[in-house]
A and B are shown apart, each in its own frame.
Chain A
Amino acid sequence: MNQKKIGNVVLDVNNISLRFGGVNALTNISFDVREHEIRSIIGPNGAGKSSMLNCINGVYTPQEGSITFRGQTFSHMNSRQVAEMGIGRTFQNLALFKGMSVIDNIMTGRNLKIKSNILLQALRIGPAEREEIAHREKVEHIIDFLEIQAFRKTPVGQLPYGLQKRVDLGRALAMEPQVLLLDEPMAGMNVEEKQDMCRFILDVNDEFGTTIVLIEHDMGVVMDISDRVVVLDYGKKIGDGDPESVRNNEDVISAYLGTSH
């Protein structure tokens, strides 16, 4: 299992500070993500995990610091550029296209890759049709992978929560991202659903070779599947390393369990 080769640094976060008015959401955070690894960001509620993810994703622009992705350094970017560079994401509170079917939702993830002329597309002729079929095949593969074949034509608004989470993952996968940001993929799930989701995350990492950055506050799950873990508390980094060392880190223990004075 642990034979996968972890590559070079793909994503390097440098001294990021983010403020909302007087609130310091993130203070001087640095960490790196290596190719093919599963990197988790954990911390109690309000630690700044989602803010960190939103900085990488270009939703927030940090006041200080920079992010280097595959050798290119950015001080600010927007969500669309981030998507074009190959960073996909899922959402903590589902943000699916509720009125559209599962297939259509996942197909939207391939929008950036479809290049044929809009007129040809409308008439479904020639190269446009071949292209559509090729992309549809990729999408079917993802649907099989996530075991949601039975629901392909169902409007996602009608699916139970756990399945919607899978569709969310599927849409991000359809982009064939190099780095996948998962915002609390297991929030609000029961044990069985959590196990399924863990399996999918490991399989994505394994089969597609996708680098995964994961936010979670369920410590148990994270320790089992992560290669390395960053711990945030009150917007500051208090721990970084492999699950074992983080588990034994005094600061981390006190952040999670509280300290006795």
Chain B
Amino acid sequence: MAFFLETLIGGLMAGMLYSLVALGFVLIYKASGVFNFAQGAMVLFAALAMARFAEWFPAWTGIASPVLANILAFIAAGALMFVVAWLVERLVLRHLVNQEGATLLMATLGIAYFLEGIGQSLFGSDIYPIDIGMPKDPVFLFDTVFPGGILVNQEDVIAAGIAAALVLALTLFFQKTTTGRALRAVADDHQAAQSIGIPLGRIWVIVWCVAGAVALVAGMIWGSKLGVQFSLTTIALRALPVVILGGLTSVPGAIIGGLIIGVGEKLSEVYLGPYVGGGIEIWFAYVLALVFLLFRPQGLFGEKIIDRV
């Protein structure tokens, strides 16, 4: 039982991290109807910036306190993501108003390659650590209930807490504010949104900023766990099945989709793995996503696809 719970919790924590990346996809899709292929590159770019700034600031200014250096690096990386968002609107999206979804998708593919390239030429292409003082030691919980207790990674618990707070804030933003409503409106119809006075350009900057901030948080947590390296971009590919499962338009869907996939991966690896020779973790998410595409293409919580004929 304790072992099962341990696996379950491990899966939930891994899932939380997938969710964070998936959230970036959902945000941009919900607010502009664009499937943003660059989300993975944004995670890498933000994490690289954060890691390098935290390293450079003390060297440049002689700040001794690592906490202060980290805070400054976080702010600087956030500002950089704002600049990225602004440039994306200025140079790319503005010229593609009222275009087909596929056109915008291709544009984000271009942005992805650009960010990957420029990120590495600005910040280098080694593996960089992010040390934000996360406690690395695992703790044992419930050792009165189960013999030996359950092993839980403190770092994961904190990451889960951050992710939960982020989701709550974003849900309120989308459902309760005028800007949130404007974002949803823009996603549905650019021209109509403009006709009622929604400033398209500003809305796009806002949503890319928010997605950039989410990418920064995701990159920071992943980076602190595994170090910042080029392979971070492939995490975006792991988040793809998550959004298919949860629904492209649903913030809660991204979270629950992430958790299901995290838990499913771990449980199937541990309990089914021995029978088929292991390696389930690698393909489990994609197979699950395929099944969903067949039977419920809008995902668990996505908006129902309405087609009048």
Chain A residues within 8 Å of B, Cβ to Cβ: 57, 59, 78-80, 83-84, 88-89, 91, 95-100, 104-105, 107-109, 111-112, 114, 118, 121-124, 155, 157-158, 171-172, 174-175
A132 to B23, CA, bound (A): 28
A98 to B196, CA, bound (A): 16
Residue pair A107, B181 in contact (C-beta under 8 Å): yes
Residue pair B306, A108 in contact (C-beta under 8 Å): no
**Selected contact of A79 from candidates B172, B187, B188, B194, CB within 8 Å:** B194
Residue pair A97, B197 in contact (C-beta under 8 Å): no
Least Cβ–Cβ distance between B189 and chain A, in angstroms? 5
Main secondary structure of the interface of B (DSSP, over half): helix
**Selected contact of A89 from candidates B189, B195, B200, CB within 8 Å:** B195
Residue pair A57, B198 in contact (C-beta under 8 Å): no
Residue pair A104, B181 in contact (C-beta under 8 Å): yes
A111 to B184, CA, bound (A): 12
Number of A-B residue pairs, CB cutoff 8 Å, is 97
Residue pair A111, B196 in contact (C-beta under 8 Å): yes
- Contact A97-B192, Cβ < 8 Å, known A80-B199, A121-B177, A121-B178: yes
Residue pair A118, B177 in contact (C-beta under 8 Å): yes
Q: Which 6 interchain pairs have the tightest Cβ spacing?
A: A83-B197, A95-B192, A97-B188, A79-B194, A157-B306, A122-B172
In the complex, residue of chain A having the shortest beta-carbon distance to the beta carbon of B307: A157
Is the interface on chain B under 10, 10 to 19, 20 to 34, or 35 or more residues? 20 to 34
A210 to B162, CA, bound (A): 50
Main secondary structure of the interface of A (DSSP, over half): helix
Residue pair A84, B249 in contact (C-beta under 8 Å): no
- Contact A88-B176, Cβ < 8 Å, known A96-B188, A157-B308: no
A80 to B194, CA, bound (A): 6
Residue pair A122, B182 in contact (C-beta under 8 Å): no
Residue pair A108, B194 in contact (C-beta under 8 Å): no
Residue pair A108, B185 in contact (C-beta under 8 Å): yes
- Contact A123-B172, Cβ < 8 Å, known A97-B188, A108-B181, A111-B181: yes
Within 8 A of A (CB), among B126-161: none
Residue pair A80, B306 in contact (C-beta under 8 Å): no
A163 to B296, CA, bound (A): 29
B191 located at the interface, meaning its Cβ lies under 8 Å from any Cβ of chain A in the complex? yes
Residue pair B306, A96 in contact (C-beta under 8 Å): no
Residue pair B188, A100 in contact (C-beta under 8 Å): yes
**Selected contact of A121 from candidates B176, B198, B200, CB within 8 Å:** B176
